[in-house]
A and B are shown apart, each in its own frame.
Chain A
């Protein structure tokens, strides 16, 4: 079956622009995660959704970052007034269950954001 997909795969933005990154999780997956991966580093958690509810947004670096999943499937990560330090790969992952500790996360290919 289809895996997690993300679009666009690459995005170049001028500093100060707003961007929107899309994630299509595996159909039927309850849990959805966003991670940010800087060059040469491991991914870092941004936010977590269980269906349409955003249960954890503790990793969002500033109030310029906003995520939503209004119908419990597709999710959008929006970054307002982009800064150079926002340049990174943004990874989306989904998981079939919401039960803590027992769910394997399946990752999409990521969106590489470059802010000039």
Chain B
């Protein structure tokens, strides 16, 4: 059974820092891995989707990498800003376990202070 773990659970940093959020998954048999952002009381906004054949994806100040063999993905945020404060969730799309279901981690709550 696929399990997804995110470390750290919470992170507080000063504005301008570069930071790394970690995601690990127990079963490397995945189609893709997706990173989301969730603001309080809001739904999920997709940030980056990495297909299993890819090693990384970039969007602006965000870079996500995927290492299937080690069961790990990292989300790198450059030059963090207070507007980056949110919960970041990673989700794996496993080969097994039914149709199209994403398996989510519990998230990393990020606070960027001025």
Contact = CB atoms under 8 A, between A and B. Distances in A.
A66 interface: no
A110 B40 CA distance: 11
B106 A43 contact: no
Interface residues of A, number: 33
B102 A105 contact: yes
Interface residues of B, number: 28
B25 interface: no
B107 A42 contact: yes
Closest 5 CB pairs of A and B: A101-B31, A42-B104, A45-B101, A107-B44, A109-B43
Interface of A: 4, 6, 31, 33, 35, 40-45, 48, 50, 55-56, 58-59, 91, 93, 95, 98, 100-110, 112
